[in-house]
Structure 1
Amino acid sequence: MSSWLLDGVWNAAEVRDEHRSNAIGPQLDHAEWREVHVPGHWADIEPSLTTDGPLTYRTTVNTPSADEGRRRFLTFDGIAYHADVWLDGAYLGDTEGYFAPHTFDVTDLWRLSPDHVIAVEVHCPPTEPGSRRTITGVLQDPSGPLTPNPGGIWQSVHLIDTGPVRIDALRVLCQDATVERAHLKMYARLDSDRSCAADVQTLVDGTVVAEHRITVAAGHNDVSWRIDLPRPALWWPRDLGDQHLVNVDVVVSIDGHPSDTTHRRTGLREVAWDDWTCSINGERMFLKGANLMPVDALLGRASDEHMRQLMEDAVELGLDMLRVHGHIAPTTIYDTADELGLLLMQDFPLQGVQRRQIRPAAIRQAQQMVDLLGHHPSVISWWAHDEPVAKPADGSVDQRQTLGLAGRARELATRVQRAVRDQAPTWNRSVLDPLVRRAIEDVDPTRRCVPHSGVLPHLPLLDGTDAHLYIGWTDGPISLLPRESARFPRLFRFVSEFGAPAAPRSPQTMATLQEHHWPDADWERFAELTGTERWQYEQSTPPHLFLDDAAWIDATEQHQSDVITAWVSHLRRIAYRPTGGFCVRALNDHTADSGWGVIDLHGNRRPAFEALKAACQPVIVTIDPLPETTLPGSRLSLAVHVSSDLRDDLDDAIVDVTITNTDSTQTQRFTGTIDANTATYIGSINTIAPQAGDITISAVLNAGRLSSSATIQTTVVA
């Protein structure tokens, strides 16, 4: 198949009504137009062209027309977000959606001349809180850190020649897999310029495994079939086995001559869910994960090297899974996950409250997502909509800084407000989300689709989905975590967001903090850049308690580490009872001014990276948390657990506990077997608080070559 890559230098200018008709035609003087690089985002262009659009792109192409009996197509791999496309002044059509390819038949127009002009008018409107009209997820999230407009032709542009029948879409899904056999569920949409007989041939690793003849009509034709593969080499997550990958090729021939071919690389594995516990190939897993934010807020700017490094960082952290949060990532992310054995939970990029007019586009793009990603064995679930409810307006700084009973009362009122909000039916949650979920499940029955993320249990089933819980940040102090999980176990079945941000060290953010005499700063600009406000830090790291901004940033980084350690240790302690896994709020930052990631935009690791790595070791020892302060003479009784991800029991394990205070040192030893793939109760430690000073309790696990330690501390206040 012949193809031409049209990437490189194009021309671009802002759209003006008086120039629109000339801009799309073949006769135009480009003298006043800027040279731009395609693929790319217009936010990368010099400031005079940085805009919310629309922008018109133009390029000239000189290629011979397609051979007789062949067809020619113009394909855009990705345009953000709306586009109208012309060839030599003739309108080809429009596009909507940033991640799916869009293709136009240009066979007849191309035969008129070897010289052509392609013009594309691109529009990416800004989002409005509470009423979004684009499906761009976190790339345009008004509640998050400040991001540039992602508009532009951000992926490659191609000319492709085919025969009379073109493969417009190919979906390859692994329906089931065991060591005896696996089944692939195949679907193709064939675009034909005539009615004819076509031969469809399927090859797996170069071997023909299926052939059948079909009759196609002019236009689009849907074709489905199933492939039976005996004695397959299974694909496994990284800790459970090898990542065997197979190459699937589909060839369509007319009269014995190849008309078109498409390739997919996939893996043979079976995914099952029991409530919120996942099994791969029959092996139950406690999923340790993090939210993967866009590698860059401008996806076209992300390099393959940077993306691969992030995935390798996730492996180093000991994570099993990443949730691709609020966006469809470039293909390198999915290919690397397949190769490394990292599991992926994939968000459809619906974020926040959407306008009702979004429904047709949401259904269409959701199915395009499955076509694009369904063959990746690393993808184990789909998520239709993230936080589909309006967020309550934040209180003023003065209100949130109030401590004591009044502050607790306001905190309770906020929780009640959220609970009431989540009970009321909404169009997004009650209508849009089930439609998107059904659209995804219609084309992919092999994976689970969660209708919405971060929704509390609500009527009529009182079931809910995963939880976004910020104990240790805005949902109360971290000391509440054990109590809240015991009171509301349903909320802890799968916690897909938790953590606390560190104040970023970017030049822009540092300038806002140093605008005035500390702790006075340009907090309004700080909130605009980071998506976090001063009042949110008051409970954990009040700025006025620190000498300067540098000390405060250090404290926020330490708090981020402490919160992650406490959360991960606790969730592993209640593994499968009821927790099936977790996702830390962010593996990475997608802007320089975000602080949620354990890795910043430029790949620098925050202290929380090492904290998360330690908490995600295959075997860890944990101690129930102590209160921040305690009274003299208080009796303290704390449980010790060992959490293991290993597939075999650990025999003859030893846990040594040391309790140190101002009066004495006590030691205690526990011995026994650590159960595989669960949390094992080791025993309880008991002590009496002294009259004053600190109490430090440490536990050290030794089991053959494996070791782990944990230390907690509290202060006795007379």
Structure 2
Amino acid sequence: MLEASPLDDGWQLRHEGKAFPAVVPGCVHTDLLAAGVIPDPFVGLGEKEVAWVGRREWTYERELPAVPSGHEQTDLVFDGLDTVAEITLNGQLLGGVRNMHRSYRFDVTGLEGRLAVRFVSAYAEAEAVRGKVGDRPAAYSEPYQYLRKMACSFGWDWGPTLVTAGIWRPVRVERWSTARLARVRPLVNVEEGVGVVELRVEVERTRVEAGLTLEARVAGRSARAEMTGTSGVVRVEVPDAELWWPRGYGGQPLYEVELTLHHGSSPLDVWRRRVGFRSVGLDTSPDAHGTGFTLVVNGERLFARGVNWIPDDVFPSRVSGERYRKRLRQAADAGVDLIRVWGGGIYESEDFYDACDELGLLVWQDFPFACAAYPEDQPLRGEVEAEARENVVRLMPHPSLVLWNGNNENLWGFRDWGWEERLGGDSWGEGYYLGVLPRVVAELDPTRPYTAGSPWSGSWAHHPNDPAHGTHHSWEVWNRQDYAEYRCEVPRFVAEFGWQAPPAHATLRRALPGEELAADSPGMLHHQKAEDGNGKLERGLTRHFAVPEGDFDRWHYLTQVNQARAVATGIEHWRSHWPVCAGTIVWQLNDCWPVTSWAAIDGDGREKPLYHELRRLYADRLLTFQMRDSGLVLAAVNQSGQPWAGTLSLRRMSVEGEVFGAASVELAVGARVVDEVRVPAELEPAGAKEFLVADVWGSPRSGDAESGEGLRAVRFPVPDRDIPYPRPQFEVTVAPGSVTVTAHTLVRDLLLQADRLAPGARADRGLVTLLPGERVTIGVEGWETPDAAAARAALYCQESAR
């Protein structure tokens, strides 16, 4: 039987005659940080102080112990090396590697001694490749397109430039005899109601003449098949298999598959994975609105409620299974049902996809290409295909994986960013996205759809980012336009859009110790990586709010409110146009360090107000006021599988609390549909002092704005800066684990910044608008000494400009 022994201890990191203890899996930066050689690059201006690390060579060393006899072959297996390295044993070359996204295996039968992995500088390798293949344009100046390494390690408009190296995934020794399972490709389908697992197997042999047998077990059923040469197929049918569904549509039953390779009666190797039975498709049919882009799971057409995922740490070896699960649990709790793994990052670890399987989170997987023209010459071309083949097969068992995507923004970049002229006919990646990658997916994983890029209209017959065709990235808003412009288009699928805000106050205090915080203080500017990021924040803010000069706390609160408002404007508009628009993927869920960015969860894992707003926006049921050609309507979005019935209450009010008009309507919305109620003209608010409130209550209403089964929508017809809000008056009471606020006036966008109570404290909700007489109870975790004065100091809300 194959035996595996981890090689995760006893490593040293060597550089210029110095040696430091090394952690494997890990990387150079984390080892130097642990040794006290470098400052924390996440704190202050530390990123600049460690820039030299990425331009040096580094060597990892340890003893490779003698292997006990009893097996015919011994292999040294690296699951991930970042990125360009030579592996030697006693000074003799075992091999060279040049791809972070692949695993590597070396025959070390009968060998022992000093094992060394020498990493060359990624910069040096990238420049050497550029010299060979020629220059290629990119959205950023760093040379990330010349090697198969996580692109965002070279910096992004939300990320630091921390180009590391290291043994970033596990390493082990495997001993085996006769044969081992080299590749298992599971094709999981549902055929006429029967779950089918077809395992296509390749083996590596030491003895050609040995007769081999495959045995597969799934859900108490088994099947056997004889191997032919080095390949074989075994198929198991599960007639009573339950379907795997995305969250909100059904359960997530998972079935363990066990495949054993036998020689006679002796087991040689075992492969185990969990699978789920489901069908998945992508409807890109043309229609009266253009070309659709709708995910279909088990025959059910979905509006995808998505978020974009970047590596959760710029040093991904630090992201544990527990951290993956926590972050993805946060996503699921916010109503998210789709995670897009963005193309400037990595193929994530099994822990990530396992958690998505269990949580019912659909995964859209980009191949790692982003925002650059990628050469198609060697040595890159062969690496791309090998990497794709390995990772497609590795991730195939996961039912959560529903879409392969060729790249991020490169087809768009070729058309709109001046690349075509600069390239002068040189290759730039089209052959990957429209050739190599769809061919690999069709050959190895025909159970899943493939799309060439995001954005992509489906063919060169339309502009790559045409909102009427395929996927669309909405970045004119934020870069140049106000978020109200989201309402001007109804894209078929919005794969990227978003708005910036700073991280939580406690995150800033940790990352910028001792700094007097200001929007333009040195640390704040360093932790703002977007081009003219603060300028765009300021322009976006002043369109809606009057910002007191020099008041950082108020600026911090209002920028976070504005982020939530911007994303809400887009999602409410697009969800109200289902099924023409079939999904939104917010840029972005998470951060890889403390930074002002588009994230809903900051680099220290704290939830911004946007996160809690997503819980409302991505709930199964949503109320939103929208303008149509016929006038103002209330759109009732019901994405649940059950009809929605209740009493709709409309009230036209003044900011002082006076009710000018009211109406009640019985609401009845079918499952998975959007219904619209025309707002009577006499209830439409007029002027800066009026607003409209809609409530739907499925049970008798109490004075608590958050009680019962109610949903609320509010519409103010003018920007906040023009609204004469009354001075907010409210009472605050505290109890262990909660803060209760009772409003005596209109209190708009009330926010408890729990991290101001204690760095580890967390509130269970974000922005809340209260009418006079209403109250809200906010749950608070991690606050050991409740105090009403402290709670009041941590509460922020809208006020009239003074």
Instruction: Please list the CA deviations of residues 232-281 of structure 1 after superposition, one character each: whole Å capped at 9, or x if unmatched.
Output: 22222222222211111222222432222222211111112212212222
Structure 2: distance between partners of 1:83 and 1:352? 26
Instruction: Name which of 189, 209, 222 aligns with 2:202.
Output: 189
Instruction: Name which of 473, 478, 498 aligns with 1:473.
Output: 478
Residue 444 of structure 1 and its aligned partner are, at CA, apart by 0.8
Instruction: Please list the CA deviations of residues 287-334 of structure 1 after superposition, one character each: whole Å capped at 9, or x if unmatched.
Output: 111112212111111122221111111121011111122321222111
Aligned residue in 1 for 2:21: 35
Aligned residue in 2 for 1:249: 258
When residues 715 and 241 of structure 1 are mapped into structure 2, their CA distance, relative to the original with a 3 A threshold, is: closer
Structure 2: distance between partners of 1:196 and 1:41? 43
Instruction: Please list the CA deviations of residues 134-192 of structure 1 after superposition, one character each: whole Å capped at 9, or x if unmatched.
Output: 233454254332142242101111111112211122121213355x3122232222111
Structure 2: distance between partners of 1:554 and 1:421? 44
Aligned residue in 1 for 2:769: none
Aligned residue in 2 for 1:287: 304
Does the 8 Å CA contact 1:234/1:268 hold for their aligned counterparts? Answer: yes
SS in 2 for 1:43: helix
SS in 1 for 2:199: strand
1:642 and 2:651 aligned: no
Does the 8 Å CA contact 2:650/2:663 hold for their aligned counterparts? Answer: yes
1:305 and 2:331 aligned: no
1:359 and 2:381 aligned: yes
Identity %: 21
Residue 499 of structure 1 and its aligned partner are, at CA, apart by 1.2
Paired AA for residue 577 in structure 2: I
Structure 2: distance between partners of 1:187 and 1:671? 56
Structure 2: distance between partners of 1:347 and 1:532? 28
Aligned residue in 2 for 1:58: 61
RMSD: 3.4
SS in 2 for 1:356: coil
Aligned residue in 2 for 1:377: 399
Instruction: Please list the CA deviations of residues 522-549 of structure 1 after superposition, one character each: whole Å capped at 9, or x if unmatched.
Output: 4995376466633322421259863243
Instruction: Name which of 331, 343, 346 aligns with 2:362.
Output: 343
Structure 2: distance between partners of 1:562 and 1:239? 25
SS in 2 for 1:153: coil
Structure 1: distance between partners of 2:60 and 2:412? 36
Structure 1: distance between partners of 2:686 and 2:361? 51
When residues 350 and 512 of structure 1 are mapped into structure 2, their CA distance, relative to the original with a 3 A threshold, is: farther
Aligned residue in 1 for 2:271: 262
Residue 33 of structure 1 and its aligned partner are, at CA, apart by 2.2
Aligned residue in 2 for 1:569: 572
Aligned residue in 2 for 1:460: 461
Residue 476 of structure 1 and its aligned partner are, at CA, apart by 1.1
Paired AA for residue 383 in structure 1: N
Does the 8 Å CA contact 1:202/1:208 hold for their aligned counterparts? Answer: no
When residues 611 and 442 of structure 1 are mapped into structure 2, their CA distance, relative to the original with a 3 A threshold, is: same
Aligned residue in 2 for 1:23: none
When residues 422 and 709 of structure 1 are mapped into structure 2, their CA distance, relative to the original with a 3 A threshold, is: farther
Instruction: Could you tell me which runs of 5 or more consecutive residues in structure 2 were left unpaired when the two chains were aligned.
Output: 39-51, 127-140, 285-292, 700-707, 724-802
Structure 2: distance between partners of 1:484 and 1:420? 28
Structure 1: distance between partners of 2:532 and 2:147? 24
Does the 8 Å CA contact 2:145/2:151 hold for their aligned counterparts? Answer: no
Paired AA for residue 638 in structure 1: L
Does the 8 Å CA contact 1:389/1:422 hold for their aligned counterparts? Answer: no
Structure 2: distance between partners of 1:267 and 1:678? 27
Does the 8 Å CA contact 2:217/2:236 hold for their aligned counterparts? Answer: no
SS in 1 for 2:23: strand
Moved more, 232-241 or 673-682: 232-241
Structure 1: distance between partners of 2:423 and 2:668? 45
Q: How does 1:53-202 map to 2 (within 5 A)?
A: 53-67=56-70, 69-107=71-109, 109-110=110-111, 115-123=112-120, 125-126=122-123, 128-129=141-142, 132-144=145-157, 145-177=159-191, 180-202=193-215
Paired AA for residue 80 in structure 2: G
Instruction: Please list the CA deviations of residues 46-68 of structure 1 after superposition, one character each: whole Å capped at 9, or x if unmatched.
Output: 2469334431111013243331x
Does the 8 Å CA contact 2:195/2:239 hold for their aligned counterparts? Answer: yes
Residue 455 of structure 1 and its aligned partner are, at CA, apart by 4.0
When residues 124 and 341 of structure 1 are mapped into structure 2, their CA distance, relative to the original with a 3 A threshold, is: farther
Structure 2: distance between partners of 1:209 and 1:501? 53
Q: How does 1:536-547 map to 2 (within 5 A)?
A: 536-541=536-541, 546-547=549-550
Does the 8 Å CA contact 1:146/1:530 hold for their aligned counterparts? Answer: no
Aligned residue in 1 for 2:288: none
Paired AA for residue 92 in structure 2: A
When residues 285 and 688 of structure 1 are mapped into structure 2, their CA distance, relative to the original with a 3 A threshold, is: closer
1:675 and 2:689 aligned: no
Structure 1: distance between partners of 2:219 and 2:355? 22
When residues 471 and 551 of structure 1 are mapped into structure 2, their CA distance, relative to the original with a 3 A threshold, is: farther
Paired AA for residue 667 in structure 1: A
Q: How does 1:397-436 map to 2 (within 5 A)?
A: 427-428=427-428, 430-434=430-434, 435-436=436-437
Residue 450 of structure 1 and its aligned partner are, at CA, apart by 1.5
Aligned residue in 2 for 1:656: 649
Normalising by the residue count of structure 2, what TM-score does the alignment of the two structures yield?
0.75
Instruction: Name which of 326, 333, 358 aligns with 1:316.
Output: 333
Structure 2: distance between partners of 1:513 and 1:536? 27
Aligned residue in 1 for 2:351: 332
Residue 510 of structure 1 and its aligned partner are, at CA, apart by 7.4
SS in 2 for 1:8: coil
Instruction: Please list the CA deviations of residues 476-525 of structure 1 after superposition, one character each: whole Å capped at 9, or x if unmatched.
Output: 1122222223xxxxxx1111111101123555997599689x66544995
When residues 338 and 691 of structure 1 are mapped into structure 2, their CA distance, relative to the original with a 3 A threshold, is: closer
SS in 1 for 2:331: helix
Does the 8 Å CA contact 1:122/1:152 hold for their aligned counterparts? Answer: yes
Residue 674 of structure 1 and its aligned partner are, at CA, apart by 0.4
Structure 2: distance between partners of 1:647 and 1:695? 36
Structure 1: distance between partners of 2:520 and 2:620? 44
